C-alpha cells in the first residue's frame, strides 16, 4: 500500500474550501451568480479546469447550481 500523501492540499480542494468560506460569509447570496471561471481562476492564480473541478464539488454538495451557458449560481434562491 503506498504511503499517504502529505503536504499541500490538492489544488481544487483548496479552491473549493475558499469558495465555501466566501459562500458562508454571505459574499454571494442565494440566486446570485458567482464570478466566471476565468475570473475565479485569475483570482486564485490557477487554471480554469481547477476552478471548474472545485465548482463541480460544490454543485455535488448542493451549494451551487451551474447552468450551461449562463454561469454558476448560489443554491437556495
Amino acid 8: pLDDT: 62
Q: N- to C-terminal Cα distance for the chain?
A: 45
pLDDT, mean of residues 11-17:
96
Query: From CA 72, how far away is CA 66, in angstroms rounded?
Result: 4
The fold of the 11-74 domain, in CATH, is Arc Repressor Mutant, subunit A (1.10.10)
pLDDT, mean of residues 16-45:
97
Least Cα distance to 75 among 49, 15, 60 occurs for: 60
Query: From CA 60, how far away is CA 65, in angstroms rounded?
Result: 9
Strand (E) positions, the chain? 64-67, 71-74
Task: Examine the pLDDT at 12 and tell me if it is beyond 50.
Answer: yes
Amino acid at each position: 500500500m503506498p504511503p499517504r500523501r502529505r503536504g499541500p492540499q490538492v489544488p481544487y480542494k483548496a479552491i473549493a474550501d475558499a469558495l465555501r468560506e466566501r459562500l458562508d460569509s454571505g459574499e454571494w447570496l442565494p440566486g446570485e451568480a458567482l464570478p466566471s471561471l476565468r475570473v475565479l481562476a485569475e483570482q486564485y492564480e490557477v487554471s480554469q479546469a481547477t476552478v471548474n473541478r472545485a465548482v463541480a464539488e460544490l454543485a455535488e454538495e448542493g451549494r451551487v447550481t451551474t447552468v450551461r451557458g449562463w454561469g454558476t449560481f448560489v443554491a437556495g434562491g
